[in-house]
Amino acid sequence: MPVLPIAKLGNPVLRKVAARVDPRDIRTKEFQQLIDDMFETMLEEPGIGLAAPQVSQSIQLVVMGCEGEGGFPTTTLINPTIVYYGPQQVDNWEGCLSVDGFRGKVTRPAVVRVQAFDRDGTSIDVEADGLYAVCIQHEMDHLIGKVFLDRMTDLSTLTQLSEFEKFWRKEPTPVI
Ligand code: ZN
């Protein structure tokens, strides 16, 4: 299973709206292989989430997972739709495998509910909070051509990694 090259900021594929996946394709060998390769790439980087446009596939597929306390289950979302946003907004530091060396604070709804197909082609309905909710929203932004920088309302928190380690590290940092 190969590790796939990551498209970096400036690559036009990151700015495209991703196409819906034909549900009949989900169980094909090629599609299952792509999911496996994306998980391997995510773990190798390492990150806690990866969207297909980040590996130059402009389709509505994201993978994510984060072990340990505050983590969340291994999840594959195909053609995801957010059907509910909780009323509370929270700030979190975010980073991105397509945006090397930066962290920034993004305000997002604390709770989301998402409907999608999983990797077996089964319909799933997931309510998420905490890091899981952040990751789902960050990854789904990649499917509409957005990166976390577009979601920052206060660019003064944009921080280079070396300074982040020095001044802000104590706060949790998803790299997605
Ligand atoms: Zn990202």
Which three-class secondary structure string do you get for 78-125? EEEEEEEECCCEEEEEEEECCEEEEEEEEEEECCEEEEEECCCCCEEE
For residue 174, report the distance from its CA to the centre of ligand 1, in Å. Answer: 10
What's the order of all strands across the beta sheet hosting 159-160? Answer: 89-96, 99-109, 159-160
Q: Does 171 have pLDDT greater than 80?
A: no
Least trusted range by pLDDT, from 6-10, 97-101, 146-150, 162-166: 162-166
Statement: residue 4 has pLDDT above 70: yes
Q: Do residues 104 and 155 touch, judged by C-beta distance below 8 A?
A: yes
For residue 53, tell me if it sits in a domain: yes
- DSSP 3-state assignment of 61? strand
The string of pLDDT tens digits covering residues 129-160 is 999 999 999 999 999 999 999 999 999 999 99
Q: Count up the domains in the chain and report the number.
A: 1
Rounded to two decimals, the pTM is 0.94
Which of 143, 109, 139 lies closest to 127 in space, CA to CA?
A: 109
In a domain, 42, yes or no: yes
Q: Is residue 2 part of a domain?
A: no
> What pLDDT is recorded for position 175?
66
What pLDDT was estimated at residue 173?
A: 62
Which residues does the annotation mark as catalytic? Answer: 139
pLDDT number for residue 26: 98
- C-beta separation of 104 from 152 below 8 A: yes
Q: How many CA atoms lie within 13 A of 52 on its CB side?
A: 25
CA angle 118, 7, 67 (to 5 degrees): 45
Q: 3-state DSSP call for residue 29?
A: helix
Give the per-residue pLDDT at 170: 73
- 40-85 pLDDT tens trace: 999 999 999 999 999 999 999 999 999 988 899 999 999 999 999 9
Residue in the block written with tokens 């700015």: 15
- What is the structure's pLDDT at 70? 87
Residue 104, pLDDT > 70, answer: yes
* Residues spanned by the domain of 147: 12-168
Sequence-distant (≥ 6) Cβ neighbours of residue 43 within 8 angstroms: none
Separation of CA 28 and ligand 1 centre (Å): 26
- Which pLDDT does position 30 carry in this prediction? 98
Is there a domain that residue 48 lies in? yes
Residue 1 has pLDDT above 70, yes or no: no
Q: Tell me if 137 is assigned to some domain.
A: yes
Q: Residues 8-33: what's their mean pLDDT? A: 98
Measure 124 CA to ligand 1 centroid, in angstroms: 23
**CATH classification of the domain holding 111:** 3.90.45.10
Q: How far is the CA of 97 from the centre of ligand 1 (A)?
A: 6
